[in-house]
Amino acid sequence: MSLNVVTLVGRVGGDPDVKYFESGSVKCSLTLAVDRMTKNAEQPDWFNLELWGKTAEIAATYVRKGSLIGVKGSLKFDRWQDRNTRVNRSKPVIIVDRLDLLGSKRDNESGMSQNYDEL
C-alpha cells in the first residue's frame, strides 16, 4: 500500500500565476507560507502549489497575495537539468485536488469559507 496525501493551511505568498493552453487546459501556480512553530518563533515553510482546471480558474479569480487558504493534494517532484551547469535539479510541488478559501486577512472576521474540489 502507498499513500501520497498533503494537507496544508497557510497564506498565499503572491498573486496567482495563471496559464491558458491551446488545448483548453488552465494551470495556476501559487506559493504558500505555512507557519511552523520552533522554540524561538514561528518560521514559515514555503510550498509551491499547482492547480489545474476549474480549481485553477477559481484560484485565479478569488485568491490573492495574503489570502488564507487550505489545500489537499499530492506531492510530486519536477525534475530538470540546469542549462548552464548540466546539474540535475528537482523541486517539490503540491498538485492540489481540493482548495478551501478560508478568507483573506480582511475577511477572517466574517468567517468566509468556501471549498472547491477538482472536477
pLDDT digits (tens, 9 = 90+) for 27-50: 999 999 998 877 777 789 999 999
**Residue 118 counted as domain residue:** no
Q: What is the pTM of this model?
A: 0.80
Residues paired with 72 in a beta bridge: 7, 98
Dihedral angle over CA of 32, 93, 100, 106, nearest 10 = 10
Please report whether residue 83 resides in a domain.
yes
- 116 confidence band (pLDDT: 50, 70, 90): low
Number of structural domains (the chain) is 1
Please give the grid coordinates belonging to residue 117: 474540489
Domain that holds residue 14: 6-35+43-108
- At 81, which CATH number? 2.40.50.140
Domain assignment present for 97: yes
* 90-104 pLDDT tens trace: 999 999 999 999 974
Give the DSSP H/E element, type plus range, for residue 89: strand 88-103
Checking if the pLDDT of 112 tops 60, the result is no
User: What is the reported pLDDT for 2?
Assistant: 87
